[in-house]
Amino acid sequence: MYTLSNRLKLVSLILIIVGAGLWGTGYYSSHHVTLDNVKTMLAEEASHGSHGDSHATITDTHEVEAHVNTDAHGEEASHAEADAHHGDEHAEHVMHQIHNRPYSALYVAAFFFMMIALGALAFYAIQFAAQAGWSPLLFRVMEGITYYVLPGALIVVAIAVWAGDHIFIWMDPEMVNPESDKFDKLVAGKSAWLNTTGFVIRALVFIGGWSLYRFFARKFSLAQDQAPEGDRSNFKKSFRIAAAFLVFFIYTESMMSWDWIMSVDPHWFSTLFGWYVFAGMMVCAVTVMAMITIYLKSKGLLQQVNDSHIHDLAKFMFGFSIFWTYLWFSQFMLIWYSNIPEEVTYFVTRIEDYNLPFFGMIAMNFLFPLLLLMNSDYKRIPWFVIMAGVVILAGHYIDIFNMIMPATVGDRWFIGMPEIGAILLFAGLFMFIVFYAISKQPLIAKGNPFIKESEHFHY
Amino acid sequence: MEASKVIHAIYNDDDVLMNAVKKVKAAKHQIEEIYTPFPVHGLDKAMGLAPTRLAICAFLYGCVGLTVAVLMMNFIMIEDWPQDIGGKPSFSYLENMPAFVPIMFELTVFFAAHLMVITFYLRSKMWPFKKAENPDPRTTDDHFLMELPIHNNEVELQSLLSQTGAVEINVVDKAH
């Protein structure tokens, strides 16, 4: 039985307060940026020689967007004219980007921690549906992590609705109003799916379904502990709902990824996006499982967990990292290869404005785990798994960052106060909720029919 | 020096075999070879065999495959004849790399897999028309055979092996 220590409570409280403080400062300072501030800032950037380059890129990307309307890309004269014409518009554009940043920073961090819990829920259901013999010892850890699904997902949706068109431009009613000069035909064409009411209803259905499974899975798991010898009815129920949940999950996860992530770029779509997001969440979930298991074992609480269990978790970290890379590359390469303008802008902005995070995350999410976790002996060494896990988690945070930020703040990104603040805030919340849930029940699901096998698991 | 006389202890159960191996190891007798019809889990550990290094070989072979792929495509597509094929940028390897990744991947796997298998054949001395080294054909069906060299301790070995549940103990002269 694990008891939530006061130190852990204090650490998570400090993380929450410091994170909220940092994020709040970032929010406050960015919201005091007015159009005049932006104009002075842009003028300064233009006059500074060192900033000349970045300014050129800004106008360039801006031109790409304007290009659709003016079609004046090729000609030098009209290019300059368009530039002068767009001066005010440009400043406003930049001001919006600056305003969007704290919202996006909060959203990225909230989504990141939510997806860890959601991935853990899917992994947990897979263990039941596959009747895995190695993992029952870790079920209580997984159940603890999944406790964050409900609050975490509600927070993500709350932020999405609160931020509105700061993150999801299609939430601006002007975009679908044919009378307005903001009217966007493509967004209007998708408004049957992309509208705020539908967004909220779908989100509540997703969250309701996930939470319902989580509630009953936990209930049956605890009931199985109390069940008399030989009574497997609760386990059978767990098995059935796990199978049903997995069907529900793969549909809702896919739709969730369109709604919560892909729609930040409403002009762009990708068919394997849902899988891609799924792969990322599974890596993070397994990594967090391994980390918490190692932490609890280091406190002497999970003594039956041996290095074979750690080895298996690390193998999943390795495997899902490669699966993620496969999907990342498949998405990137197909779009890069065919180079269709309406699709490829997605990667053009990321490569031009997010070069380091975009390619850096490949090193963190692929090369690093590939080389570190390939050796069978290394997968058994706790500090090695923790080290690889920290890099994987950081890499997948950047992955989410790369999905959201280019659409909302463009080249005005930085990993500064609001981003780090939001990470700390949700890390504290996640830690507190997860360890609170783990402390509620004994750490071993002793009623599980596979628990003996798991205790003797040896690879 | 290989002993000219060996003793063959035959078992008909893998658990009995495992216990026998542990007993023989505890008595500090050398085990020359064990013949089994199927892999017995943990036998290599009980015998104290060194772990295989085949995986390390495979990793190195994979590196070779990757290098071959990169050098080959860099020479053909970038250096030798950098044609414009459908607008793909052939100015440098990096610019056109995504198009090469499928081949880089496949060649890595190809080299790692095939060279590792060939290494396995060479190390375990297996090839077509190789004469089978089977001391007793029953060991391919349902019997397990432990072979121990005799160094003037025939009686001692026989009594030890008969205690371990061997169904048959034969002394064989290997000298030809």
Query: What pLDDT does A59 receive?
Result: 44
The count of CB pairs under 8 A between chains A and B is 12
Q: Decide if A339 touches B, using CB distance below 8 A.
A: yes
Mean pLDDT lowest for which of A77-86, A210-219, A311-320, B129-138?
Answer: A77-86
Q: What's the mean pLDDT when you consider all of chain B?
A: 91
Residues of B whose CB is below 8 A from A332: 98
**Closest Cα of chain B to A333: distance in Å?**
6
Query: What pLDDT does A289 receive?
Result: 96
Residues of A whose CB is below 8 A from B105: none
Give DSSP secondary structure letters for A360-391. HHHIIIIIHHHHHSSSTTGGG-HHHHHHHHHH
CB contact under 8 Å between A333 and B87, yes or no, is: no
Nearest CB among B55, B59, B98 relative to A332 is that of B98
pTM of the model: 0.89
**Closest Cα of chain B to A326: distance in Å?**
11
Q: Would you say residue A439 has pLDDT above 90?
A: yes
Residues A20-56: tens digit of each pLDDT: 999 988 888 888 888 888 888 888 888 875 444 444 4
Containing H/E element for B173?
strand B168-173
**Closest Cα of chain B to A375: distance in Å?**
9
Query: What pLDDT does A65 receive?
Result: 45
Query: What pLDDT does A128 receive?
Result: 95
Angle at B150 between CA B145 and CA B153, to 5 degrees: 120
The span from the CA of A422 to the CA of A30, in Å, is 15
Residues of chain A above pLDDT 90, percent: 74
Query: What pLDDT does A28 receive?
Result: 86
Amino acid code (one letter) for B80: D
Length of chain B: 176
Q: Which residues pair with B65 in a beta bridge?
A: none
Structure confidence at residue B39 as a pLDDT band (50, 70, 90): very high
Query: What pLDDT does A84 receive?
Result: 52
Residues B104-125: tens digit of each pLDDT: 999 999 999 999 999 999 999 9
Mean pLDDT lowest for which of A68-72, A160-164, A369-373?
Answer: A68-72
Query: What pLDDT does A85 receive?
Result: 54
Nearest CB among A337, A374, A376 relative to B98 is that of A337
Average pLDDT on B44-71 reads: 95
Residues A194-222: tens digit of each pLDDT: 999 999 999 999 999 999 999 999 999 99
Structure confidence at residue B176 as a pLDDT band (50, 70, 90): low
Average pLDDT on A356-369 reads: 95
The span from the CA of B165 to the CA of B153, in Å, is 19
Nearest CB among A336, A374, A376 relative to B98 is that of A336
Amino acid code (one letter) for B74: N
Query: What pLDDT does A53 receive?
Result: 47
Chain B: residue whose CA lies nearest to A376? B55
Q: Would you say residue A309 has pLDDT above 70?
A: yes
Residues A54-82: tens digit of each pLDDT: 444 444 444 444 444 444 344 444 444 45
Chain A: residue whose CA lies nearest to B42? A459
Nearest CB among A333, A374, A376 relative to B98 is that of A333
Query: What pLDDT does A3 receive?
Result: 87
What proportions of chain A, in percent to the nearest 5, are helix, strand and coil?
80, 0, 20
CB contact under 8 Å between A336 and B59, yes or no, is: no
**Closest Cα of chain A to B70: distance in Å?**
17
Nearest-CA neighbor of A121 among A211, A204, A206?
A211
CB contact under 8 Å between B101 and A333, yes or no, is: yes
**Closest Cα of chain A to B56: distance in Å?**
9
Residues B81-96: tens digit of each pLDDT: 999 999 999 999 999 9
Mean pLDDT lowest for which of A91-95, A188-192, B6-10?
Answer: A91-95
Q: Would you say residue A445 has pLDDT above 50?
A: yes
Give DSSP secondary structure letters for A435-450. HHHHHTS-SS-TT-TT
Contact yes or no for B56/B87 (Cβ under 8 A): no
Residues A98-146: tens digit of each pLDDT: 989 999 999 999 999 999 999 999 999 999 999 999 999 999 999 999 9
